[in-house]
Amino acid sequence: MTAPMSRDAWSAALRAMGRRVTRQRLAVLEAAHRLPHASAEAILHEARTALPDLTAPSVYQVLADLTEWELLRKLETPGSPARYETRIGDNHHHVMCIRCGAVEDVPCIVGHAPCLTPAPGTGMRVLTADVLFQGICASCESSQVAGGHEAGRYPPLDIPGQPVPDPTRSPV
């Protein structure tokens, strides 16, 4: 299913699933659509423009429900909170800037879903492959060079669960 992009389409999709159409659900869908790859906090802030009394627990529950019902896609990115998008039902991946955390969509790199096939012997039929490319966005690249640092030489990021590389040693 491709992502509905209007209040009427989202309402129809919710009704077709036997779900109630609520102001909270519509406000969260509209906020997530306006802010692709946004965190729950950013979606809450944006949704409050339509519903000022909207609470954080309500938004978290709505995000969980809409993700379960496949009206939203939840992205897990390293070192940052979960992000959400309304672009669903197609075969795309993401690229994330390791400096500023910006996330952009990337079309599937090879053919039909899933783009990647694991080696035989897993005992599972693969349904999807989530790919997250990591790099440096153009804005961070230009600000680093403008700041007098050599292009391509960045201090290590402190990503939880990953060792911090020693800048005095060359990679193996």
Percent of the chain with pLDDT over 90: 45
Q: Which amino acid is at 118?
A: P
55: CB partners within 8 A, 6+ apart: none
What does the pLDDT look like over 76-128, one tens digit per residue? 888 889 999 999 877 788 888 988 888 888 887 665 555 566 777 778 887 77
Record the pTM. 0.70
What would the 3-class secondary structure string for 148-163 be?
A: CCCCCCCCCCCCCCCC
* Distance of alpha carbon 97 from alpha carbon 102, whole angstroms: 5
